[in-house]
Structure 1
Amino acid sequence: MKKGFRYLKSILVTILAATLLLSGCGKGGEEKASAQGEVLNVAYFPTSFKSSLSTIAYVKGFFEEEGVNVNLVNLQSSADSLVALQEGKIDVNPLGITNTIQAIEDGEGGVVIIGGSAQAGGIIITTPENADKFKDLNNWKGATWATGRSYTGDFVVRHYLSEIGIDSNVDVSSVDLGDNLSIIQSVSKGEADVGYITADGARTALDYGLELITDVDDIEHAYPCCRISSTQNAVDTKGDQLVAYLRAVIRAYDFILANPDETIKIFTDLTSQDEDYVRDVLYGDFASAYVPDPARQKVLNFSQYLLEAQALSSTDGIKEAINVDLYKKALDQILTKYPDNENYKTLLEIYNEFDS
């Protein structure tokens, strides 16, 4: 896994250099002025729902209001944003978890996790006639499973299969198809008995006549998806700016919950998707939750799942690379300013459950 990651990194460095020359600051390459502080370079993915917190914080002007001078750098994927982070081209990456944890283990770039972007958002699908059978993981032995090995929930499902004595590499024939549509089509044609997709494929699965039988969040509540990562160097030299960034995304969390109509409109415009699709992805029954908490314990659990799946060779050093202090400082400052806000109170409960 490390070898493959380093090979990918070498390919992306060249692409990244060209991308950064074309990328500016702010939305569409414009810098948003701020009252104080050094520039904080942040990877920007305006069409990705997984980085909704960072996008809303920018669109609504929360970065500026919190006094952080953010330079948004347009990148293409979590892979090249991770390379940019390790190379010191950006200070904050709001996407990725598996590759982030692998980079922490690899030790290159001093990568650290400082917050969360999304959690959960995975669905198990099958045909109507198989729905009752495959709702129970105990019945998966001997089944053919269409999945995407890059999907976070894939590792979660594999872990819980192992918990009941089913080896996903031996007792289940898993096929890595890599994207929702291919998985949906495979199950629909009867080539696979069961499939794992992400929440943005829910409507398509239904259109193909399939059933959404299990929310993977019901198998493990609040399992982590994309994390907000930075570097130890940025923590040491731009700690105040990172705290201000986290204050802004905490406010974005509140905005998404309190203003669904405006949030849907923002992402409909940014992604050019239809309103019903955006509503399903952001607020549907199977949607990810866009929570800024680092969820240290959940990340440690997930690291163990990666180890079990041989996607990680060791979990040594992972705990030390999850910095919850910056987030807690930001949350305390927000709670001081908005003491009666119920959404912020909920974040404190989440912190106490998963980070303290």
Structure 2
Amino acid sequence: MSRSLKAALGFVFAALSVTPLMAQDAPFRLIVTHLEVPLVPNSVLDLAHVLGYYEREGVNVELVRVQQTPMAIAALQAGEGEMANIGVDALLQLTARGTDDLRAVASPNKSLPFLIAAKDSIATAADLGGHSFGVGRVGSLDHTLSVKVLESQGVDTDQIELVSLGQPNVRAQALAAGQIDATTVSIGVWTTLPDKEGLHVLVSADDYYAAAPVVNKVNAVTTTVLEERRDEVMGVLRALVNISRDFAADPELWVDAMATELPHMDREELATLAESFTQSWSVNGGMSADELDYTVTSLYEGEEFADLPPVALESWVDFGPIDAVLAELGVDDAMDQPAR
């Protein structure tokens, strides 16, 4: 037998050994807006790929990395991906302006795990009056949410001096440098802040979300993908629910996976983050109608929605796929209640 014939037969046998679904189906492209695995529960999008959860559901997922939601939406609408993890505010604005073919089907990380950090001299939220507070910009999501959180604790937010500083890491650095008295940052930014001397957590992430349960990001698909590749959509959702449940049951699994993906991270910091995510995993898909309704109401109070018409939940959300997945897997009653 010639070498060329042997090589050809070897290729055929290798092809036949591939799982039929993987061999026949085009990749299911999942668009994400981070360039490396993020230090938040949204990491399940990447880790489900690394740890084989998508593959076990028979879906050939390919991660497509872009910067920020506008690029992710553009890629999704251009057919350069089948599903995208995008900001709810952008999806709502598109829907309000007439886009009718995008649907949120899950939220693997319902909210950025925000907390409010402050100087030690500010012992309680009530002490913020007359002090400076760093925000991304006036009217930004972190600003509007923080106002709700502080007002829920009886703070007169008119007595706080707002300072527009941009991204959370910049705000955290300004706080550490004594340029502002308090600010809102994510748990990841707070945990990795090199010098926290003289600073403390004023409002924890759990208390922050309890006061302002705004869903920040969702996984969205087009109605065409939902119709033509529904089995794969459900396979991705099953994978995300399963990995979220596994991490909730054993946080050390997340620490191990993240330590492998981000070897520069200190393992103790990862363990601290894992502990803070105890109630943050989307073990039921992260799709509560109550929280989504609250999100819409909250966003429409901002200036970016001032001139936009209201939108019905069914015009941008489809509970069908995640409800079908939960019918198979059952509902985890520990957290993330799927209110309808």
CA distance in 1, matches of 2:245, 2:152: 36
Distance 1:202 1:257, change over 3 A: same
CA contact (8 A) 2:136 2:142 kept: no
2:268 to 253, 276, 292: 276
Q: Displacement, 1:328?
A: 0.7
2:115 aligns with 123
1:292-331 equivalent positions in 2, closer than 5 A: 292-313=285-306, 314=308, 316-320=310-314, 321-331=316-326
Q: Displacement, 1:87?
A: 2.1
CA distance in 1, matches of 2:293, 2:187: 24
TM normalised by structure 2 equals: 0.78
1:1-356 equivalent positions in 2, closer than 5 A: 34=22, 39-44=27-32, 45=34, 46-50=36-40, 51-108=42-99, 110-120=101-111, 121-132=113-124, 135-136=125-126, 139-149=127-137, 152-161=141-150, 171-203=159-191, 204=193, 207-221=196-210, 222-272=213-263, 273-281=265-273, 283-285=274-276, 289-291=280-282, 292-313=285-306, 314=308, 316-320=310-314, 321-335=316-330, 344-346=331-333, 350-351=337-338, 354=339, 356=340
Letter in 1 for 2:114: G
CA distance in 1, matches of 2:204, 2:37: 24
Distance 1:88 1:158, change over 3 A: farther
Q: Displacement, 1:164?
A: 8.0
CA distance in 1, matches of 2:55, 2:154: 52
CA contact (8 A) 1:148 1:196 kept: no
CA contact (8 A) 1:93 1:229 kept: yes
The unaligned stretches of length 5 or more in structure 2 are 1-19
The unaligned stretches of length 5 or more in structure 1 are 1-31, 336-343
CA contact (8 A) 1:87 1:109 kept: no
CA contact (8 A) 1:159 1:305 kept: no
CA distance in 2, matches of 1:324, 1:350: 13
Distance 1:33 1:54, change over 3 A: farther
CA contact (8 A) 2:114 2:208 kept: no
CA distance in 1, matches of 2:245, 2:278: 17
CA contact (8 A) 2:59 2:236 kept: yes
Could you say which structure has the larger radius of gyration?
2
Q: Displacement, 1:242?
A: 0.9
TM normalised by structure 1 equals: 0.75
CA contact (8 A) 1:123 1:286 kept: no
CA contact (8 A) 2:117 2:185 kept: yes
Letter in 2 for 1:80: M
- Matched residue of 2:311: which SS? coil
- Matched residue of 1:94: which SS? strand
